[in-house]
Structure 1
Amino acid sequence: MTETYVDPSPLNFQSFKDLPRDTPIHMLNLLLYRDVAEYPHGHDHAGKGWSGRRAYEEYGKTSGPIFRKAGGRIVWRGRFETMVTGPEVRAWHDGFIAQYPNAGAFFAMIKDPEYQKAVVNRTAALVDSRLIRFAPGEAGEGFG
Structure 2
Amino acid sequence: MTTYIDPSPANFQAFKDLPRDQPIHMLNLLHYRDDADYPASHANAAKGWSGRRAYQEYGKTSGPIFNRVGGSIIWRGVFQTVVTGPDNMQWHDGFVAQYPNAGAFFEMIKDVDYQLAVVNRTAALLDSRLVRFEPGAAGGGFG
Matched, 1:79 2:78: yes
Structure 1 residue runs without a partner (length 5+): none
- What is the CA–CA distance in structure 2 between the aligned matches of 1:49 and 1:128, rounded to whole Å? 20
- Count of matched residue pairs: 143
User: Match for 2:128: what amino acid?
Assistant: S
Matched, 1:49 2:23: no
- What is the CA–CA distance in structure 2 between the aligned matches of 1:141 and 1:37, rounded to whole Å? 42
1:95-114 CA-to-partner distances (Å, cap 9, x unmatched) read 00000000000000000000
TM-score of the aligned structures, taking structure 2 as reference length = 0.99
TM-superposed deviation, 1:136: 0.2
User: Match for 2:35: what amino acid?
Assistant: V
What is the SS of the residue equivalent to 2:34? coil
Tell me what 2:12 maps to: 13
Matched, 1:116 2:101: no
Tell me what 1:138 maps to: 137
User: Match for 1:85: what amino acid?
Assistant: T
User: Match for 2:130: what amino acid?
Assistant: L
1:111-135 CA-to-partner distances (Å, cap 9, x unmatched) read 0000000000000000000000000
What is the SS of the residue equivalent to 2:128? strand
- What is the CA–CA distance in structure 2 between the aligned matches of 1:101 and 1:52, rounded to whole Å? 29
What is the SS of the residue equivalent to 1:47? helix
1:53-107 CA-to-partner distances (Å, cap 9, x unmatched) read 0000000000000000000000000000000111101210000000000000000
Question: Could you tell me the percent identity over the aligned residues?
Answer: 74
**CA-based RMSD:** 0.5
- What is the CA–CA distance in structure 2 between the aligned matches of 1:6 and 1:106, rounded to whole Å? 17
- What is the CA–CA distance in structure 1 between the aligned matches of 2:83 and 2:3, rounded to whole Å? 20
TM-superposed deviation, 1:141: 2.0
